[in-house]
Chain A
Amino acid sequence: MTGAFPSPYGGQLPVLRIGDVLLVTLQGDLHDGTAEQLQEDVSEAAADSRVKGVVIDLSGVEIVDSFLGRVLSDIAAKTRLLAAETVVAGMRPAVAITLVELGLTLPGLRTALSSDEAIRLLGEVSISPRHERTRQESP
Chain B
Amino acid sequence: MQTAGGVSACLPIHSDLDLVWVRQHVRQAAAQLGFGLVAQTKLVTAASELARNTLVHGGGGQMECAPVSRGGGQGLRLSFSDEGPGIPDLDQALRDGYTSGEGLGMGLGGARRLVHEFHVDSRQGRGTTVTVTSWVSGPPRPREEQ
Contact = CB atoms under 8 A, between A and B. Distances in A.
Contacts, number: 83
A48 B27 CA distance: 39
B106 A103 contact: yes
Contacts of A70: 103-104
Question: Contact size class for A?
Answer: 20 to 34
B41 A6 contact: no
Interface residues of B, number: 30
A94 B41 CA distance: 6
A29 to B, nearest CB: 5
B66 interface: no
A102 interface: yes
Interface string B32-51: 00000110111011001100
B16 A33 contact: yes
Given A66-B104, A70-B104, A94-B38, A32 B16 contact: yes
A8 B24 contact: no
B96 A103 contact: yes
Given A66-B110, A70-B104, A97-B42, 5 more contacts: A63-B44, A70-B103, A97-B41, A102-B114, A103-B106
